[in-house]
């Protein structure tokens, strides 16, 4: 199983609306891809900046590629991201899950 981490930063005044997009658009999109085992959005307020982390789990790298494309290390963005993100980080992180427990 593969864990995929994405990070983004949003100005505080736009964070609530961005969180709504994550719930309504992004998470359902991730979860709709064959081989996705779940996706979670986390938020951390840090003064005038809010950090969003998106953690998703996938069967394997091929499943990640169904979502992200052949160059799966490159971050995938949505049309609305330009309106909210301070910058669009180029890459995401992937880890092979070697141990864990279910929720």
How far is Cα 29 from Cα 24, in angstroms, rounded to an integer?
A: 9
pLDDT, average across residues 71-86: 97
79-98 in b/e burial notation, b at 16+ Cβ within 10 A?
A: eebeebbeeeeeebeeeeee
Predicted pLDDT at 101: 76
Residue 32 three-state SS = coil
pTM of the entire structure? 0.91
Q: Is the pLDDT of residue 99 over 90?
A: no
Q: Is the pLDDT of residue 102 over 80?
A: no
Residue labelled with tokens 């070697």: 98
């Amino acid at each position: 199983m593969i864990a995929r981490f994405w990070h983004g930063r949003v100005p505080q005044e736009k964070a609530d609306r961005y969180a709504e997009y994550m719930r309504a658009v992004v998470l359902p999109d991730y979860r709709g891809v064959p081989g996705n085992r779940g996706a979670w959005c986390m938020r951390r307020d840090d003064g005038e900046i809010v950090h969003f982390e998106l953690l998703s789990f996938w069967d394997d790298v091929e499943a990640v590629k169904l979502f992200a494309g052949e160059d799966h290390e490159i971050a995938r963005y949505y049309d609305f991201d330009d309106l909210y993100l301070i910058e669009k980080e180029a890459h995401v992180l992937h880890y092979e899950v070697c141990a864990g427990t279910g929720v």
